[in-house]
Structure 1
């Protein structure tokens, strides 16, 4: 489970993001100012930083610069209302891996977080299954398992989000011809081929259990 550090002084936005990201399986620590954030980085290991720029005591860019100079290369996404070219440039010069301009859709942030944190793990293990995320090879007790591309991608998506469900909309994007029937057929085949328990979470999507 990935652990994130959120540096954001807006309580309303912070609570919304923490609730949303926690729902999607992330652990989130919240720092309201730069000094608090720097203390948290001393005491914890994080998989990703989410830093606003205009926060009290130490701003996000100065904090990131200091962390990079200290050898902390934790992937970092800047989230800021500052949209001018100079601010964006300063963010990347400081060592940011991505820059998201406020206001933003939490789903877009989630996509960017997944893109950064998935690179930290080359393999996923689930019971006696193992997936190589680089080659997309699937093994059961060290024996290769061969699936069609669509079922393979659905299986990987379900495991990446385990134990939380994957939304129906996300899974639809993995289908060649996205229809409800095609989704049900692929899920049924996946359950049969791999002897899996996949639950239909009403109004949300599917969840491997």
Structure 2
């Protein structure tokens, strides 16, 4: 899953980027509205985390331009402004959710997961394929009802494959969804992650075709 983070405060922005990446999200971080809008015009993203107070243009301006252009990417707004008027303005412009600073990281992550589920049109949180089920909101995986210990990076790859069950997902699609574009991914990183998942889920759960990609059966 790829996230646009728009935050001009360097300390907060860098800490949020690291925290989101630790949870296996790919993050493109921008410190001004203009650069963020350019990236959003040229690329498809899953969520935007957007500060209100930005140089040159506000977060409200970003939301307004995105919605007027027809871009319905889910948006969580962040602000130090703790007034009802500011919250109402952001939501009226088209934001999907709102958090006032200071906020708890776990709450932000939960809200991002909720927006992703809503965008994917899933009312239930559990995804099932064969004898494996995952709860993306709780980041819990089970096989035959037994809970498994799966690290964050492996969990997000499993979620991606199960969300696209019945279709092959290419290595480049996986890299784009799970890794920051500014970070060099080792050539065997995905293969190692798949190998580790197969040890927990069974060797036949994730199918692969060299040069095509990986797939989980429906």
- Give the TM interval when normalised to the shorter protein: 0.5 to 0.7
Say whether the 8 Å CA contact 2:117–2:125 is kept in structure 1: no
Say whether the 8 Å CA contact 2:74–2:119 is kept in structure 1: no
| Whole-angstrom distance in 2 between the partners of 1:79 and 1:146 | 36
| Whole-angstrom distance in 1 between the partners of 2:23 and 2:132 | 29
In structure 2, stretches of 5+ residues that fail to align are 157-197, 202-218
| Whole-angstrom distance in 2 between the partners of 1:34 and 1:146 | 42
| Whole-angstrom distance in 2 between the partners of 1:160 and 1:114 | 17
- Which protein has greater RCO, CA pairs closer than 8 Å, 6+ apart? 2
| Whole-angstrom distance in 2 between the partners of 1:146 and 1:164 | 12
In structure 1, stretches of 5+ residues that fail to align are 124-132, 166-194, 199-209
Name the SS of the counterpart of 1:118 in structure 2.
helix
Q: Which residue of 1 aligns with 2:62?
A: 63
Q: Which residue of 2 aligns with 1:21?
A: 20
Q: Which residue of 2 aligns with 1:139?
A: 129
| CA separation of 1:163 and 1:81: change in aligned 2, threshold 3 A | same
Which deviates more, 156-165 or 11-20?
156-165
The total of aligned residue pairs comes to 151
Quote how far apart the aligned CAs of 1:138 are: 2.8
Structure 1 or 2, whichever has the larger Rg, is: 1
Say whether the 8 Å CA contact 1:24–1:164 is kept in structure 2: no
After TM superposition, the runs of 4+ consecutive aligned structure 1 residues lying more than 4 A away are 156-162
The correspondence of residues 28-39 of structure 1 with structure 2, limited to 5 A, is: 28-39=27-38
1:197 to 178, 200, 206: 200
| Whole-angstrom distance in 1 between the partners of 2:69 and 2:151 | 31
| CA separation of 1:91 and 1:160: change in aligned 2, threshold 3 A | farther
| CA separation of 1:135 and 1:163: change in aligned 2, threshold 3 A | closer
Q: Does 1:49 align with 2:51?
A: no
| Whole-angstrom distance in 2 between the partners of 1:122 and 1:161 | 23
Listed one character per residue, the Cα deviations across residues 65-108 of structure 1 (whole Å, up to 9, x for unaligned) are 11101000000000110111110110000101100000111111
